[in-house]
Amino acid sequence: MNAEILAVGTELLMGQIANTNAQYLSRRFADLGINVYYHSVVGDNPGRLKDVLLRALERSDIVITTGGLGPTKDDLTKETIAEAMGLPLVVHRESLDYIRAFFKKQNRPMCENNAKQAYLPAGSKVIPNRNGTAPGCLIEQGGKVVIMLPGPPKEMIPMFEETVFPYFEGKTGYIIGSRMVKVFGIGESEVETRLMDLIEQQSNPTIAPYVGYGEISLRVTAKCHTRSEAEMLIFHVVEKIRERLGAYVYSDSGETMEEVVLKLLEKKGWTLSTAESCTGGMLASRLINIPGASRVFDRGFVTYSNAAKVQELGVRQETLDAFGAVSRETAEEMATRLVERTKTNAGLAVTGIAGPDGGTPEKPVGLVYVAACLNGETRSLKLNLRGDRERIRTVSCLHALDLLRRMLLGIQ
């Protein structure tokens, strides 16, 4: 089966928001073994929307739309598609009751135009929306499938996962299983070299690499008739990847680096604190984004100035005078003093030059030192990073976390 993703919204064409829905849906259709050959974006214009829809139906088996299901006059996706497919709009009582209850629960008056969201093409399968007021729907007609979902990802994603994904699983007769192997500290070309024969020989499961900021994800996907069969095929491939890449693999279940580190610390009953200069709180933010981080993460300091490093952490002025704020000595002292002050088991420190200004020939932009102190042992890394400010800060955080991960696992 071939699918086409049709995003509706003038704000997308104007660049006011990014089309993250298309990225998500393409990935999930791939998990189902369904090809996505076209992405289309059209503004809130009925004529152009109808033209794009009819063209999509000519070349694709499945058309899935996002956006244009709201209560305002420019939300015309349902109306336009229903007209194009020759279907009248009829009120869906359960959806109307849900919308009314939604506003009552919010203690807000329901405007009359909200009722239009409960009008759906006759004969369509309703897709409930538990996070908003716009239900979606699915239409089967002439061997084609048209699916309409709202634009906000917090609504669209659960609706796809709860209703649309199971619908297509039943249609294909296959179970699609996948695992995400996360890799850090090794380049893309080196990963490819080590896995070349696995990639060239792949058929089922398949290995799909995705390159991010300093890390690589390998999605291993198997298409089988049963879940257990898919999991077994995936397991053997993941084990081969682990054998080839060793300690560079930090997760084989899609976890983030911070999730892995927090779990390792929690398992030991240990605590963590952070001290940051060039990353400006990004490291602490990544940690506290993980639910339950409070069981491990104690506190974080942003010591941007030299004075803050001295006053908040206890870094010696002599160290700063002799080696500078961006140095191995300062990073290690930040980490060790941090642990002494907070009485935590582990401390992570980052200091560097994120740019775009501030570099010198001796200490260029991208020079970063990270240090970790774990129960009296301190290690540090010198990094020479490339890219813009955001990339340098992000990759610095990953290196700091990976350094601690390796210490926790006893890896040099």
Which tens digits make up the pLDDT trace of 52-98?
999 999 999 999 999 999 998 888 999 999 999 999 999 999 999 99
Which tens digits make up the pLDDT trace of 372-401?
999 999 999 999 999 999 999 999 999 999
d(CA 83, CA 381) in angstroms, rounded, equals 63
Residue 156 has what pLDDT?
97
Give 31's pLDDT tier (boundaries 50, 70, 90).
confident
- For the sheet with 215-224, list strands across it: 206-211, 215-224, 175-184, 249-251
Q: Evaluate if residue 180 carries a pLDDT over 80.
A: yes
The pTM for the full model equals 0.79
Residue recorded with tokens 């279940």? 253
Interacting residues of 29 by C-beta distance below 8 A, sequence separation 6+: 3, 35, 36
Q: Is residue 28 within 8 Å of 66, Cβ to Cβ?
A: no
Calculate mean pLDDT across residues 14-32. 92
Give 33's pLDDT tier (boundaries 50, 70, 90).
confident
Residue recorded with tokens 């294909």? 172
d(CA 95, CA 129) in angstroms, rounded, equals 9
Angle between helices 257-268 and 389-409 (to 10 degrees): 30
Q: Cα–Cα–Cα angle for 401, 405, 406, nearest 5°?
A: 120
Q: Evaluate if residue 298 carries a pLDDT over 90.
A: yes
Half-sphere exposure of 134 (CA within 13 A, CB side): 22
Mean pLDDT of the chain, nearest integer = 95
Residue 45 has what pLDDT?
94
What is the DSSP annotation of 29-64? HHHTT-EEEEEEEE-S-HHHHHHHHHHHHHH-SEEE
Task: State yes or no: cis peptide before 205, omega within 30 of 0.
Answer: yes
Which tens digits make up the pLDDT trace of 245-263?
999 999 999 999 999 999 9
Residue 125 has what pLDDT?
97
Interacting residues of 47 by C-beta distance below 8 A, sequence separation 6+: none
Residue recorded with tokens 């329901």? 110
Residue 253 has what pLDDT?
95
> What does the CA dihedral 93, 98, 99, 104 come to, rounded to 10 degrees?
130
Which tens digits make up the pLDDT trace of 305-333?
999 999 999 999 999 999 999 999 999 99
Q: Evaluate if residue 173 carries a pLDDT over 80.
A: no
| Token output for 263 | 């779990």
Give 174's pLDDT tier (boundaries 50, 70, 90).
confident
- Of 240, 272, 251, 268, give the one whose Cα is nearest residue 185: 251
d(CA 148, CA 139) in angstroms, rounded, equals 9
Top pLDDT among 346 and 169 is at 346
